[in-house]
Amino acid sequence: MGERVYAVEGLGGNGVSLSPGLVIDQSEAGIQHTAALGQAFRGGPLVNGRGRVVGIASLSYAPLNFAPGDVTFAVPIQSACERVLTCGGDVPGAGDDG
């Protein structure tokens, strides 16, 4: 909690935009954060201050049944790697021992 995070968005040739925020709470279900998310940020990475992807930003992900938009969550990258993505062994908790 309290860790600085950035929602990352990059459309077309405009480069990358970052929306800064803080982690408010974290569990296996989701990362609650304060980074502002517009439509362009949906599905983009949520990175920490070291540049590591920690989650997938979402406007509609509501693991605790809060109304979408009231509380912003990111899908933890470990969960995404275990269920949807094929991630390398360098992602902690994504099927490796680290």
Q: Produce one character per residue of 3-41: b if its CB has 16 or more CB atoms within 10 Å, e if not.
A: eebbbbbeeeeeeeeebebebeebeeebbbbebebeeeb
Q: What domains lie within the chain, and their CATH numbers?
A: 4-83 (2.40.10.10)
Average pLDDT, the chain: 80
What pLDDT is recorded for position 12? 58
Q: Give the tens place of pLDDT for each residue, 41-54.
A: 668 899 999 999 99
pLDDT over threshold 90, residue 92: no
Greater confidence (5 vs 16) lies with: 5
Judged by DSSP in three states, 4 sits in: strand
What pLDDT is recorded for position 90? 61
> What is the model's pTM?
0.75
What pLDDT is recorded for position 96? 41
Residues 6+ apart with CB under 8 A from 98: 89, 92
